[in-house]
Structure 1
Amino acid sequence: MPASPYVVNVTRETFQQDIVQKSMEVPVVIDFWAPWCNPCQQLAPILEGLADEMGGKFILAKVNTDEQPEIAQAFRIESLPTVFAMIQGQPVDQFAGALTAEQVREWVSRLLPSPTQQLAQEAMGLIESDPKEAESKFREALMLSPDEDSLKIMLARVVLSQGRLDECATIIEELEKRGFLEPEAERVKSELDVRRTAAESGGVDAARKAAEADPTNLTLQIHLAEAYAASQQHRKALELCLGIVQNDFGEARAEAKTTMVKIFDMLGPASELTGEFRRKLATALY
């Protein structure tokens, strides 16, 4: 077995783990070789040395085609050496033959994330556990790529998660000047709107007391629903709004529907609650 932690010998049994799963984390370079292949022997130390030098920025997966013909057949290998690159479980590039060290370095460098992408990836992994550090990395990435709107959207998301509503609003307003918002930006905006209204209502306890004091005031009921949504009590929020849609035919009905749509945006289309209450809303409306 290779001594390097960044070089692995792959078998049919370890293919899924060593190549497919690992490529979800970093690029995986697959070297198809055979012991009798002289060009393979020339290429191998170049690839292995580069894997060590880059210290885990990519993994080199070596496949001995004499011992693992099934893997070679799956990749339709016709000559040796042949080298594939896998990212996110998919082959993205390849070459055949023994390249020079400079050519190999250039080829591998195209697979690696840019400094901006690297910072963004690190930030994404910190959003839940350390939002302040995630924010710092998003801002650093934006310094490198100030026109990258996807970074601005994620910055708005992480700023919102820390309760800085006005700062989040400024970012979203700047994005809106383009004339459109991406789905993720729409989700951030919907959550921002809900959290702003909830903050104005004083939170769940204050909104509940206000609604109980004036039970015929449906606007206060909607404010309570928004307070529920802002505190992650999404089912309660949707049930309250749905009841208004089912029983009122005035302005409150439209406002309750709008609030439900904002909560759907917050939850995302894959959420079971979104699917459940979209169906209930459609039934109530039509």
Structure 2
Amino acid sequence: MSDETQWVINTTDATFEQDVLLASQQGLVVVDFWAEWCAPCRTLGPILEGLAEDYQGGFLLVKADTETNQAAAGEFSVSGIPAVFAVLDGEVVDSFQGAMPEPQVRQWINSLLRQRELKAAKEMLETSPDEAEVILRSQWLETPDDAAVAAPLAELLLSQGRTDECVEIIEQLEQRGFLEPEMERVKAAVELGSKADVDVEAARAAAAAAPNDFELQFTLAEALAGSEQYEASFEICLDLVSRDRHKTGEKARALMVDVFRVLPEGSELTSDYRRKLSMLLY
């Protein structure tokens, strides 16, 4: 059994839920499944314990001797030791098996703490946006290609009307030659937002006066999408895809996809019109 400190504790099957699952609601918990007879465990254990002291509360190290934690080891599907699990909010978020050198373990811990900090920043976006921005900007400067950080930062900037700053982030990530889905969603929101000031009634009048002018019909579809009249916009887009598939219809298809991206996940409108669009295309 290891010596206990403020940041290192021993657990048993009887206390495992409280020591690990409940404690992980308050912060990062690292569980080390080990045994006295295991030579690699005796190598890794002191490394983990030393890091727990170094980080001074950055995480709680819970030592789980497999002799007194057989049920917990089974629940975590431990097939060999040492086996180390990171638990946050009652869920295993990462793990590794076998001994690793201290720099590699430290890097693993840093990654987990960064993940925890990012989660906290996302939770603060509405209640404490300034604090969230400080955290997100700090992480983004460290890893400017990480869309998991860039997307919430860009969304925050966009929600505050700081569109130019948001676009800078998008353009920087686009230099890689691709965008992740979460960044495609932000880009779509920027595109739609740029159409919010279009005079819908003027566009409607122009389109009504020239029903066979596909560009004017598309302008109306854009204006409607910019004013969040999505269903009306979709109907015009479908008509354009049907009548002018490879020209204005292609722009209409792309507009629909942009709206699909910004609508809430599981939206019935998305499901309905994605199906209608697919029927026209295929």
TM-score range, shorter chain: 0.5 to 0.7
Query: What is the rounded CA distance, in whole Å, between the counterparts of 2:84 and 2:14 in structure 1?
Result: 16
Does the C-alpha gap of structure 1 residues 173 and 127 become closer, same or farther in structure 2, counting only changes over 3 Å? same
Q: Residue 263 in 1 paired to residue 264 in 2?
A: no
Q: By how many angstroms is 1:197 displaced?
A: 1.0
Equivalent position of 1:242 in the other structure: 234
Q: By how many angstroms is 1:157 displaced?
A: 2.7
Provide the TM-score with structure 2 as the length reference: 0.67
Give 1:112's aligned amino acid: I
Give 1:109's aligned amino acid: R
Report the 3-state secondary structure (helix = DSSP H, G, I; strand = E; otherwise coil) of the residue aligned with 1:30: strand
Contact kept? 1:32, 1:72, Cα under 8 Å? no
Q: Residue 148 in 1 paired to residue 138 in 2?
A: no
Query: What is the rounded CA distance, in whole Å, between the counterparts of 1:184 and 1:244 in structure 2?
Result: 27
Equivalent position of 1:127 in the other structure: 125
Contact kept? 2:237, 2:252, Cα under 8 Å? yes
Contact kept? 1:20, 1:89, Cα under 8 Å? no
Query: What is the rounded CA distance, in whole Å, between the counterparts of 1:173 and 1:42 in structure 2?
Result: 46
Q: By how many angstroms is 1:112 displaced?
A: 1.3
Provide the TM-score with structure 1 as the length reference: 0.67
Give 2:217's aligned amino acid: L
Matches within 5 A, 1:225-240: 225-229=224-228, 236-237=229-230, 239-240=231-232
Equivalent position of 1:76 in the other structure: 79
Query: What is the rounded CA distance, in whole Å, between the counterparts of 1:12 and 1:67 in structure 2?
Result: 9
Equivalent position of 2:187 in the other structure: 189
Query: What is the rounded CA distance, in whole Å, between the counterparts of 2:158 and 2:265 in structure 1?
Result: 20
Query: What is the rounded CA distance, in whole Å, between the counterparts of 1:120 and 1:160 in structure 2?
Result: 19
Equivalent position of 2:30 in the other structure: 28
Query: What is the rounded CA distance, in whole Å, between the counterparts of 2:129 and 2:71 in structure 1?
Result: 45
Equivalent position of 2:85 in the other structure: 85
Query: What is the rounded CA distance, in whole Å, between the counterparts of 2:118 and 2:93 in structure 1?
Result: 21
Equivalent position of 2:212 in the other structure: none
Equivalent position of 2:274 in the other structure: 278
Q: Residue 63 in 1 paired to residue 64 in 2?
A: yes
Equivalent position of 2:213 in the other structure: none
Q: By how many angstroms is 1:191 displaced?
A: 0.9
Give 2:276's aligned amino acid: K
Q: By how many angstroms is 1:270 displaced?
A: 6.0
Matches within 5 A, 1:168-183: 168-183=166-181
Query: What is the rounded CA distance, in whole Å, between the counterparts of 2:53 and 2:109 in structure 1?
Result: 15
Query: What is the rounded CA distance, in whole Å, between the counterparts of 1:254 and 1:178 in structure 2?
Result: 25
Q: By how many angstroms is 1:264 displaced?
A: 1.6
Q: By how many angstroms is 1:273 displaced?
A: 4.3
Percent identical residues: 31
Contact kept? 1:225, 1:241, Cα under 8 Å? yes
Does the C-alpha gap of structure 1 residues 173 and 84 become closer, same or farther in structure 2, counting only changes over 3 Å? closer
Unaligned runs of 5+ in 2: 209-215
Q: By how many angstroms is 1:137 displaced?
A: 2.2
Query: What is the rounded CA distance, in whole Å, between the counterparts of 2:204 and 2:272 in structure 1?
Result: 27
Does the C-alpha gap of structure 1 residues 130 and 273 become closer, same or farther in structure 2, counting only changes over 3 Å? farther
- The alignment of Structure 1 onto Structure 2 pairs a total of residues equal to 261
Contact kept? 1:10, 1:18, Cα under 8 Å? no
Contact kept? 2:34, 2:83, Cα under 8 Å? yes
Does the C-alpha gap of structure 1 residues 243 and 25 become closer, same or farther in structure 2, counting only changes over 3 Å? farther
Equivalent position of 2:221 in the other structure: 222
> Over residues 63-102 of structure 1, what are the superposed CA-to-partner deviations in whole Å (9 max), with x where a residue is unaligned?
3434432334531347xxx352336626532346xx9xxx
